[in-house]
Structure 1
Amino acid sequence: MTTSAGADAGLPPERWWWEYPVRPRWLLRGDARFEDDTPLALCAEIEGLFVDLPPRPQERFTLVGCRPETPLRAALGAVGQSTKAALRRRRISAEVYAVAADGSASQVIGAGVSGTVEAAEPSRLGAGLLDVTVDSEPREPLPTGVLGILEHWYAGRPAEKNLWAGYDRGLRHHWAGVALARRSGEPDRPAGTTYQLDGRFVTDIEGFYCAIGEAINGPGGYFGWNLDALDDCLRGRFGARTPFRLVWHDSAVAREHLVAGYDRRRLSPAITLAYLLEMLTAHEVEIDLR
């Protein structure tokens, strides 16, 4: 792989070529750690980079055993009509809330139903209930594992810690989202309080957010689910007031897993233990690694 003059001021742009009969089409820049803008390779082709995907079929929701309220009844009343006004009435957009055993409802972050009401029929679940069909815009569905997470909150806050420990990274993220939606909003404990973080399952950044949430606010507790949210929590009103002391048990687990590199799930540089410690220290958190 050879190149001509660089792109400094007054020089022509770089030119790339090689001695093989097939022409190079692609240049990769970066390095093994995705830190520097240096050449990695010239390639003739990159299979899998450009793919014509089949069009996604129109998605459909069915609201099973549904008791329509006034707005949805209006949409159902316009089914079968083709005027522009009727089509507008048939359009719905709603966030989804989970109803707990005590009748309270909390938002399921990332869950929504939006689209055009197409049909309704009596539901087998009870007289007066309907099964309503909604043709929806394509959207990424939530994993079914979220249903299991919501079950842990159905009767109230979880009574024990680390129920999230067996989940993969994606579901740990959803666990923290449910914890956010269900947080109690109790006042901050006084500055100078000591909190105990169980680090046995901090094998990824999502596990850290789950663990520190429970260290600060008990089983099912929330204390951030991304760096911006963690920064907000460290400023108060989320259960703890700085300065405080954080005893991080089994910190060797995080030291092994929260290392430099590229996070393919988040599509960004990995968040390291060193970065978290620096961030916590900047907010006057005294950290005791054990």
Structure 2
Amino acid sequence: MQVEEHAAWGRDFPVKYLLVREDEEGEERFWGRCAGVEGLFVDRVPPPREVLTLRGCTPDGVLGNALAHAGKATGLLGDVCVEVWDEQQPVQWWNLVDTVVIAHQPSRTDPALVDVVVGAGVEEEYTWSRALPTSPRFELFAGTTVAAVPAGRCLSIDGLFVSREAAPRTPLELIGCEAGEPLLAVLRRPRKWERDWMQVWALDRNGRVMY
């Protein structure tokens, strides 16, 4: 598909977005163009808060700092990534959003380890199988994906493997949309469409795709 063929139209306002979808052969096809998209740049709805217990922790980094001062203010950890490892590599991962340490105490099974109760919103990027490796290892990382640092490890996490409702999706409204023939065909018989994904390409003032 040639972007320049669809990046301009005979109207007083510019084309700002193209609607594109791959066909069965992997070719990108033009599905429409529009002047605006409402709901594209809104903040995600934060996940509901939950209470989890990190069992048998060996804390490090920000988690170790949060546990170092007993009786002090609640430890704020920010976002924490939990990776479930088998003997060689991570096989599952979860995001604990805005994690806060609520309480901690020595582990009953091993006083050298710590049980940590935290409050967080849980984001599950994929719907993981509840089956775990024979000897799972839970690695903790604090910070964003780009700048995550180790925060320790633990033996298990109570409250992590539960069923959750899917996060609500933000609907998009296409403003000033001129639909291509494939999209018009879907609009004529929407129940016949498999409702697969579609891409929204943003254009700059010169009609070039912004990556």
TM-score range, shorter chain: 0.3 to 0.5
Q: Which has more helix, going by share of residues?
A: 1
TM-score under structure 1 normalisation? 0.27
Ranked by relative contact order (alpha carbons within 8 Å, sequence separation 6 or more), the top structure is: 2
Higher strand share: 2
Please identify the structure whose Cα radius of gyration is greater. Answer: 1
